[in-house]
Chains A and B, each alone.
Chain A
Amino acid sequence: MAELAIKPLGREAMAERVARDIPEGWLVNLGIGIPTLIADFVPEDREVLFHSENGIIGMGKAPPKEQINPFLINASSQHVTLRQGGSYIHHADSFAIARGGHLDLCVLGAFEVSDSGDIANWARSADEPVKQVGGAMDLAIGTKRLWVVMEHTTKEGAPRLVQRCSYPLTAKRVVKRVYTNLAVLDVEPRGFVVRDMLPGLSFEALQAHTDARLHQA
Chain B
Amino acid sequence: MIDKFVPSMAAAMEGIGDSATVLLGGFADVGIPRALLAGLVDTGAHDLTIVAVAGGREGSANERLLSLGRVRKLICTFVRPASIAARLFQRGELELEIIPQGTLAERLRAAGAGIPAFYTPTGADTLLAEGRETREINGRLCLLEYPLRGDVALLEAWRADRWGNLVYREAQQNFNPVMAMAADLAIAQTYHTAELGELEPNVIDTPGVFVQRVLHVPEGEIHG
Residues of A within 8 A of B (CB): 52-56, 69-75, 77, 82, 88-92, 94-95, 98-99, 123, 126, 129-139, 141-142, 168-172
Contact = CB atoms under 8 A, between A and B. Distances in A.
26 contacts: A54-B171, A71-B30, A72-B30, A73-B30, A90-B178, A90-B205, A92-B106, A92-B108, A99-B122, A123-B127, A126-B127, A130-B86, A131-B78, A132-B77, A133-B98, A133-B123, A133-B128, A135-B102, A138-B100, A138-B102, A139-B102, A141-B124, A142-B121, A168-B126, A168-B127, A169-B126
Interface residues of B, number: 44
Interface of B: 27-30, 77-81, 86, 89-90, 96, 98-103, 105-106, 108-109, 120-128, 168-178, 205
B101 A133 contact: yes
B178 A130 contact: no
Contact of A73 (B29, B106, B121, B173): B29
Contact of B109 (A70, A88, A92, A131): A92
Nearest to A139: B102
Contact of B89 (A55, A72, A94, A130): A130
A132 B78 contact: yes
Given A90-B205, A130-B81, A134-B78, A55 B28 contact: no
A90 B155 CA distance: 13
B90 A133 contact: no
Contacts of B80: 132
Contacts of A88: 168, 170-171, 173
Name, among A72, A95, A142, the residue most crowded by chain B CB atoms within 10 Å (CB to CB).
Answer: A95
A71 to B, nearest CB: 4
Q: Which 6 A-B pairs have the closest CB atoms?
A: A138-B102, A95-B102, A132-B78, A135-B101, A71-B170, A172-B125
B100 A137 contact: yes
A134 B99 CA distance: 8
Contacts of B79: 130-132
Contact of A170 (B29, B101, B126): B126
Contacts of B120: 99, 141
B22 to A, nearest CB: 17
A172 B168 CA distance: 37
A10 B170 CA distance: 34
Contact of B102 (A75, A77, A90, A98): A98
Contacts of A126: 127
